[in-house]
Structure 1
Amino acid sequence: MTFTRYAIYYAPPADAEWSRFAASWLGWDLETGTMVPHPNVAELDIGAITDVPRKYGLHATMKPPMRLAERQTQAALEAACKAFASSQKPVSLDGLHLARLGRFLALCPTGEHSALNALAAACVTELDSFRAPAPAAELDRRRATGLTPEQEENLSRWGYPYVLDQFRFHITLTGRLPKPELPAVVEALNKHLIPLLPAPLEIRDLALMGEAPDGRFHLIQRYALSG
């Protein structure tokens, strides 16, 4: 398959009960590259709730989607990801909790997560030679949302505003929701997903992802953190 962009994710283990439920909640299994049926949760239109994040699959972004730089290849990126992961230690989190980020819902880390932030920062900086400069239209679109000076600096240097000190690990579960709809979705996730979440959560690998021409992300390869 030919990919238009690449990204580095934390992709939850495909065989865990919580990640199977969350992948079906989104409706896209990035491990198999297939649509999966949504769970049946009374009175919720899960298809509409998850329409925006569906194509990305169940993940937390570690290095944001990027086009390959000139003269770089997917094979070279795969080799670099393997070498990078072999130099990094696994990360342990106390767990995850459901958080409201603006008008969307996501899973965020509980407790101390400085090692996780350091891993994400290393993904951004150490693999940046593979990133082609973002097109001007993309930069303008991000600036139109209103950026802080730190975010503008990140956008100019790394092609994305929310990295390094502006990074916040999160696993997106919904698109932007109308305020009246939020309580019912929170209640459903608290009932069906939150009891399944592991504590602690061990992050043992990173996933190289590819964006297909239709915009959906597919798993290319997992790389064990073995430093």
Structure 2
Amino acid sequence: MSNFPRYAIYYLPAVGSALAQFGAVMLGYDVVTGADVAFAPPTAAVADWREITADPRGYGFHATLKAPFTLADGRRDSELLWACATFAETPRAIPRIVPVIRPIGRFIALVPDVPSEPLQQLAADCVRDFDGFRAQLSAEDRARRRPEQLTPQQIEHLDRWGYPYVMDEFRFHMTLTGSLDTARHDELLALLRGTFAATGIDRVAIDRIAVLRQDARGERFKSIAQFELRSADY
């Protein structure tokens, strides 16, 4: 079985929204069109901005709900898309967050200002409901997750769900940089927060899921479908 293509279930901002445009110009990549875009002008002051954003650019501006996976034998991407459409039609509480930009470990991301139970539930539902499409991890892929550096709970999640940072370990984040020395955080936080403040975005509804595809190692992920979630209040 080939490890590619790989698929992922992500939150992507609505096409054409201010948040989608912000993410695209910060990373230099539009994950919906698959095209490079010009970086936001403020980044010109940072000589190595392209290198700083190289890792997140490969995935596009997103939040992971179901981490990248290879389809299980006998599964087709058309079935995955149908399952996503069905999932989106199920009425649910739509998570709404106040977005802030903060360091998470060694990288910087857009995150909710406070934890959101509906958001945790949405992520858990995605992990659980789409797991039947996921091929089991190979020994090589499991080793890439460096289980020796994980907690027992994270190892349990890795072996059960194919990814360690799910369920109680899940933290919603939309990555804006690669791994950085903490000494650079202050400089880049000021730039990122200033650029984000200029968008005027003060609330974000996590109101859709997207299916992304990566065709080969080293290629970027690209959105192949988005599905708006039905609100239980609708």
Query: For this structure pair, what is the TM-score category when the shorter chain's length is used for normalisation?
Result: over 0.9
Aligned partner letter, 1:48: E
Tell me, yes or no, if structure 1 residue 6 matches structure 2 residue 12: no
Q: Is the 8 A contact 2:64 2:172 kept in 1?
A: yes
Question: Secondary structure at 2:41's aligned position in 1?
Answer: coil
Question: Secondary structure at 1:193's aligned position in 2?
Answer: helix
1:157-168 superposed matches below 5 A: 157-168=160-171
Q: Deviations over 1:86-137 (max 9, x none)?
A: 1142523231111111110001112341101101100000111100011111
State the number of aligned residues. 225
The equivalent of 2:226 in structure 1 is 222
The equivalent of 1:17 in structure 2 is 18
Tell me, yes or no, if structure 1 residue 140 matches structure 2 residue 143: yes
Aligned partners of 1:161, 1:88: CA distance in 2, in Å? 28
Aligned partners of 2:18, 2:162: CA distance in 1, in Å? 35
> CA-atom RMSD, angstroms?
1.6
Aligned partners of 2:32, 2:111: CA distance in 1, in Å? 22
User: Shift of the alpha carbon at 1:176?
Assistant: 0.7
Task: Please identify, of 14-23 and 102-111, the stretch whose mean Cα deviation from structure 2 is larger.
Answer: 14-23
Task: Please identify, of 62-71 and 208-217, the stretch whose mean Cα deviation from structure 2 is larger.
Answer: 208-217
User: Shift of the alpha carbon at 1:30?
Assistant: 0.7
The equivalent of 2:29 in structure 1 is 28
The unaligned stretches of length 5 or more in structure 1 are none
Q: Is the 8 A contact 1:92 1:200 kept in 2?
A: no
Aligned partner letter, 1:182: H
Aligned partners of 1:36, 1:148: CA distance in 2, in Å? 39
Aligned partner letter, 2:25: S
The equivalent of 1:207 in structure 2 is 210
Q: Is the 8 A contact 2:93 2:118 kept in 1?
A: no
Aligned partners of 2:121, 2:52: CA distance in 1, in Å? 32
Q: Deviations over 1:28-70 (max 9, x none)?
A: 1111011111122242132111011111001000000000000
The equivalent of 1:127 in structure 2 is 130
The equivalent of 1:169 in structure 2 is 172
Q: Is the 8 A contact 1:30 1:58 kept in 2?
A: yes
Percentage of matched positions with identical amino acids? 38
Q: Is the 8 A contact 2:18 2:201 kept in 1?
A: no
Question: Secondary structure at 2:122's aligned position in 1?
Answer: helix
Instruction: State which of 73, 78, 83 in structure 2 corresponds to 1:80.
Output: 83
Question: Secondary structure at 1:7's aligned position in 2?
Answer: strand
Spell out structure 1 runs of 4+ moving beyond 4 A.
Answer: none
Aligned partners of 2:89, 2:193: CA distance in 1, in Å? 36
User: Shift of the alpha carbon at 1:195?
Assistant: 4.0
